[in-house]
Amino acid sequence: MPNRRKLQDDFITLAHGNGGRPMRELIDHLFSHYLQNPSLDTTVDAARLPVDLLGGELELMVTTDGFTVEPLEFPGGNIGSLAVHGTVNDLAVSGAMPLYLTLNTFIEEGLEVSLLERIVAAMAEACSECGVRVAAGDTKVLRRGQGGGVYLATTGIGVRSSKLRLGLELAQPGDKILVSGSVGDHGTAVMLAREQFGLKGDLQSDAASVLPITQALLTIPGLRFMRDPTRGGIATVAHEIARVSSSTIRLYESAIPVKGPVRAVCEMLGYDPYYLACEGRVVAIIAPESSAAAISLLRENGNKDAAVIGEVIAGPARVVLETRLGGERVLEELEDDPLPRIC
């Protein structure tokens, strides 16, 4: 086993779950070091298992996720529907058709049964909507004060064509970067639901299945990669693309769809919408000659805010935002966790 590179931090902080630099280093320098094997790839949303189906025409895909949301219910969903959508979405952006889920539930002593029932009912409705079934599960109860009401952990299983190839490493200079809708909706909606800073609003989370979006994009030639920009938002996805492809990612501020309430909250509190979580959006890399067709198809299917928001260009691995005024701002990799327990 090769020598492990030491983490920069001596203690775990909330920032180690934000999707940015601390979390990446925790995974790469600790978990990957000890759990390394030829099939472990920490850059993908879902992993291919060495099981071929239908004579090798299909391959088995698996993903796993955990959910810790505060509050447990928010405008547009709750932790139950979020868990289903989040797991399904990780399979969907990998090009897979989701089939089954497993569910582990950690319930804090004292939780209202009526709230738990709403969470499970929302989960069942989301499963029906996405065409998946919960095939196995486990339940644990934590002592009062040792949990956040409910924590959920899921595993998703699906299948995809063995001929399909998607990956960050396929990005090349000239490729376009698109997003399927407005960004930062989920992070802002959850923050408003906490009623922190005296702020209230009726903004809805974008939490939803992205399977219709990914299935549409899979019909477009030149598709290189898809990801749902959850923790760390679109800026963190852009950093992943830059790091793996060894290219500069240029984003265009004037093209990135941000709703008025999201922009207003960010301006008041000093947040950057490009780092806020989305739970029903897809970021994709696509060949330049196919980008217009991809956007047209997404808009025809109800994603009216879909837009090309940037491109891959030759240069050092970094993310640059071209501002509305024509200037440039380097988007650094996320360090702190501005909104813990967001998904």
> 252: which 2 tokens?
């265009």
| pLDDT value of position 246 | 96
| pLDDT value of position 25 | 86
| pLDDT value of position 136 | 97
| pLDDT value of position 2 | 54
Delimiting residues of CATH 3.30.1330.10 domain(s) in the chain:
43-161
Identify the residue whose tokens are 């019909």: 219
> 97: which 2 tokens?
């058709």
- Record the pTM: 0.92
Measured CA to CA, the distance from residue 339 to residue 124 in angstroms comes to: 28
Instruction: Give 272's Cβ-side CA count (13 Å radius).
Output: 18
Rg over CA atoms, the chain: 20
Distance from CA of residue 141 to its chain's centroid? 28
Measured CA to CA, the distance from residue 60 to residue 62 in angstroms comes to: 7
Strand-pair category, 248-252 with 318-322: parallel
| pLDDT value of position 1 | 53
Please give the CATH number for the structural domain made up of 168-330.
3.90.650.10
Q: What are φ and ψ of residue 85, in 5° steps? A: -60, -40
| pLDDT value of position 3 | 56
Sign of CA pseudo-dihedral 110, 114, 120, 122: negative
Q: Which amino acid is at 249?
A: I
| pLDDT value of position 242 | 97
What does the pLDDT profile of the chain (343 residues) look like in tens digits? 555 667 777 888 888 887 888 888 888 888 888 888 777 777 788 899 888 788 889 999 999 999 999 999 999 999 999 999 999 999 999 999 999 999 999 999 999 999 999 999 999 999 999 999 999 999 999 999 998 999 999 999 999 999 999 999 999 999 999 999 999 999 999 989 987 666 777 899 999 999 999 999 999 999 999 999 999 999 999 999 999 999 999 999 999 999 999 999 999 888 999 999 999 999 999 999 999 999 999 999 999 999 999 999 999 999 999 999 989 999 999 887 667 788 8
Nearest in space to 189 (alpha carbons), one of 258, 265, 303? 265
Cis peptide bond prior to 273, omega within 30° of 0: no
CATH of 43-161 among 1.20.1730.10, 3.30.1330.10, 3.40.190.10, 3.40.470.10: 3.30.1330.10
**In sequence order, what DSSP letters do the residues of 221-288 get, joined into one string?**
TTEEEEE---TTHHHHHHHHHHHHHT-EEEEEGGGS---HHHHHHHHHHT--GGGS--SS--EEEE-G
Delimiting residues of CATH 3.90.650.10 domain(s) in the chain:
168-330
What DSSP character marks residue 172? -
